[in-house]
Each structure stands twice: as C-alpha cells, then as structure tokens.
Structure 1
Amino acid sequence: MVSKEIVLLLVFAHLALCSILIIAPSPPQPPKPNEVAKMARYILRNSDWVSIATTSTQKAIQGYPFVSLKSVSDGPMSNSTGIPYLYMTDLDVSGQDINKDNKCTIMASLAELDYCKQKDFDPQDPRCAKLIITGKMLKVDKSSPEYQFGENALFSKHPSMKWWPKDHDFYVSKVDIEQIAVLDFFGGIKYVSKEDYFNANDRILDDILFSNVEFIEMSA
C-alpha cells in the first residue's frame, strides 16, 4: 500500500513537470563599439567590482599609485544612474588615501563577465571592453536622500554588505566624474563627455537585463 507521503510527492512532481519555469541566463551582448556612451554605461551597470587607484599614504610607498578592489553599484536593478557608488571605510588603506587626496581612478572591465571568455578575448584585448573613470571620491551626506539611494544600490547588488562589521564605520561614497574613457576596440581609447554618458539610452540596459533570462514553459 502506497503511503500518503509518497502520493503527495508524486502529485507535486507531476505538477512540477506540467508547468516549470526555467530561468536560463544567456550571454550579455554589449553595445557596438561606435556606441561609446552606451558601452560605458553598460560596463558599469554589469560590473560587480572595480579596481581603484589612489595616491598612497603608506610610509614605504608614499606618493606612489596604489590599487585595490572595491564592490560597486550604479543603482538598484530598476534604476541605472551611471554614478559609481562604493562602500568605503577609513580603516581601509584606500580609504586612508582618499582622506588625504580624494582624486582617484576606477576601472571596470567586461573581463568580469563570461562574454570575453566566450569570444576568446584575452582580458588585455581591446575588444574585451574597459571603462576608466577619473574623478574625486566624495562621501555622500548621510542625511540626504542620495545616501539611502546609494545604500540601496549597493545592498541590492551586494547583500552581504548589510552584515559587514558596524565598528568599521562603512559609508556610502561616490565618484564625482571628471573624465570617462572607454577602450572597446582597436584604435585606442575613446573619451565620452559627461553629458553623453548620463544621457545614454538606459533602455538598452533594461533590454539586456531581461534578454539574459529566458522563461520556458514546459508541459507534460
């Protein structure tokens, strides 16, 4: 005699086979090389982290360039702003550098994604696109609506940040952009004006976001 538990399991298994929603990510396709502003926005939007170069305050290398890695977000999933938000702390070496001289450069690359591997592009290949942003790192005012926005942007992309040590006094910061450079094809770096960058059509980002997920309904 078949137990009720087995019967229920068989019923649920049948229902699952009758209508299953399968989420199948497909490789993201970046904009064309001539769409430089869109490419810049695309790279930042799809990057989880950036390298950040600062002027070192460490005694042994004071004044030298120093580089580290920081998680990044330019907004929650439904709102790409193009503004790089980072979670900084004064306990960090880069944070100490920023406190003395807040000029910095960040770089993001499609080498983070599967795209370059699938295309067999070496990370140094110009077609494995890079975004280089130079500007000043600014602390976002904790009493401002932007602080909450930046925090939501970071926490939605990097959920573990919510549980980072409170005594490290992490704070939301952003890069106040002064120069935007893109290397996405042969022929050298291209420069994007801030106006073009912030006016880039964000719909391409939404189209890519949703095209990366295929919903397939299966029936028994």
Structure 2
Amino acid sequence: MNVKLFVFYCFLLAVEGVLVIPKNPPQPWQAALMARYIIHNTDWVALATISTQEKIKGYPFVGLKSSSDGPMTKSTGVTYLYMTSMDVSGKDVESDNRVTIMATLAETRYCESKSFDPQDPRCAKVISTGRLVNVPKDTDEYRFGKDALFARHPSMKQWPTDHDFYVAKVNFDQIDVLDYFGGIKHVNISDYFNANITNLINQDVKFSSVSVIEIENY
C-alpha cells in the first residue's frame, strides 16, 4: 500500500469524518468495505453446513444458495437466503444451524478483467461464519428479505409453494476477507455493518467513518 495515500485517507477520517471511495472495489486495507462490496455485488454464496447424510454425517457439506443483502438501491450487509427443509442443506441446518458462507468477486467480471484466477488472493472473497436463523414471518424484516431476494432472483416467485420456502439469514460470529497477499483479515462486525456501500458500484460516494486499519494477517 502507498504510505502517503494511507496517511491521506486517515487524515480525511480524522478531520472530515468521511471517506471518499472510488467506483472500483475498495483497497486491500479497507477490509470492512471490501466485505460489504462483495456481499452486495454478488448473487450467490457457497453454503457450508454440518452434514446429516448417513454416510458423511458430521462432515462438512457445501451447497450453492442464491442470496441478497437488499436491492441494488439498498445494501444492508445481511445475507438473506431462501431456504427449504426439503433440500440437503435445509435438513442440515435443522439439526445444527452453524454455517459458513463464501462469496467471491469471481462471480462478477472483475477478476476476469484483471486476469486473476479465482484462487488468486486478489480475486477477493468474503468468508463469514455464524448461525443460520429463520426470519420470523409477519415482520418487516421478513417482507424486506423476501422482496430483496425476489428483486435479485425473480424466478423465485415461481418456485413450488408446497416446498415451504422461508427467508433465513446468517447471524455472523466471524467475518474474514481475503483480497490480497498476506493472508485473511478478520473484520470487526460493527465496522462491517457501518460500511454502507450501496452506491459504490455506480458512483463515487462519501461514507460515514469506519475503522480503516482492520486487522491481523496470518
């Protein structure tokens, strides 16, 4: 990282209380913003569960789930999923709701445009671990989460009603970002939710203050 640039941004934070972010993905030292950027600008996550299948009971199992943290005009940082107990992952979380999800900019054109292999650390990823919980029906959050999913994934409206799909979300215990060489960075969860990047994909914007030195590398 350019030291002068780092000092300049810290000065902005200290004096103005805002940070000016460009249209492209955030810089590697802006881990909370990067995590939010990835979650908001991707449409699916890999969902790791603890398997209940007889032959692999207790093993990690991974599925793919369509996701949304809100329509493009509103990012919440909350990862909403449309779940059913009729699929393998749904059965797993009924037994043990501890999960890990991963989203990556390999889903977008960004990594390809930079000639980054999906495994290249610069092809940024956010890996979040926590518990998958049902969003209670007849709440504003349930309606928001369902609308957010349907806005990103219109075909969900035609999914079978007898599958009892429900809106779920991940309550995070740990959020990790891998977006550059040097290992993953642990993102403070409060910083993650304070890093509002709704319009980052479209234009330069100003954001409220967030911590910009995240993190331990290992």
TM-score class, shorter-chain normalisation, is 0.7 to 0.9
For residue 210 of structure 1, report the CA deviation from its aligned partner. Answer: 5.0
Q: Tell whether the 8 Å contact from 1:134 to 1:177 is kept in structure 2 after alignment.
A: yes
The answer to whether residue 181 in structure 2 is matched with residue 200 in structure 1 is no
**Which TM-score applies when normalising by structure 2?**
0.81
- Say if 1:161 and 1:186 are closer, same or farther in 2 by CA, change over 3 A: same
One-letter identity of the residue aligned with 1:93: V
The answer to whether residue 106 in structure 2 is matched with residue 101 in structure 1 is no
Flag the structure with larger Rg: 1
Rounded Cα–Cα distance in structure 2 between residues aligned with 1:76 and 1:56? 32
RMSD: 1.1
The answer to whether residue 202 in structure 2 is matched with residue 209 in structure 1 is yes
For residue 144 of structure 1, report the CA deviation from its aligned partner. Answer: 1.1
Deviations 1:3-43 (A, max 9, x none): xxxxxxxxxxxxxxxxxxxxxxxxx7211111110000000
- Identity, % of aligned pairs? 62
SS in 2 for 1:40: helix
Q: Tell whether the 8 Å contact from 1:128 to 1:184 is kept in structure 2 after alignment.
A: yes
Length, aligned pairs only: 182
Within 5 Å, give how 1:56-135 maps onto structure 2. 56-135=51-130
Q: Find 1:149's aligned residue among 141, 144, 148.
A: 144
For residue 77 of structure 1, report the CA deviation from its aligned partner. Answer: 2.0
Rounded Cα–Cα distance in structure 2 between residues aligned with 1:165 and 1:209? 35
Rounded Cα–Cα distance in structure 2 between residues aligned with 1:143 and 1:65? 33
- Give runs of ≥4 in structure 1 deviating > 3 Å: none
The answer to whether residue 144 in structure 2 is matched with residue 163 in structure 1 is no
Equivalent residue, structure 1, for 2:216: none
For residue 209 of structure 1, report the CA deviation from its aligned partner. Answer: 2.9
SS in 2 for 1:72: strand
Q: Tell whether the 8 Å contact from 1:29 to 1:115 is kept in structure 2 after alignment.
A: no
Equivalent residue, structure 1, for 2:170: 175
Rounded Cα–Cα distance in structure 2 between residues aligned with 1:65 and 1:58? 11
- Say if 1:76 and 1:33 are closer, same or farther in 2 by CA, change over 3 A: same
One-letter identity of the residue aligned with 1:176: N
SS in 2 for 1:42: helix
Residue segments in structure 1 that go unaligned for 5+ positions in a row: 1-27, 212-220
Equivalent residue, structure 1, for 2:182: 187
For residue 184 of structure 1, report the CA deviation from its aligned partner. Answer: 0.2
Q: Tell whether the 8 Å contact from 2:76 to 2:196 is kept in structure 1 after alignment.
A: no
Rounded Cα–Cα distance in structure 2 between residues aligned with 1:193 and 1:55? 25
One-letter identity of the residue aligned with 2:90: G
One-letter identity of the residue aligned with 1:145: D
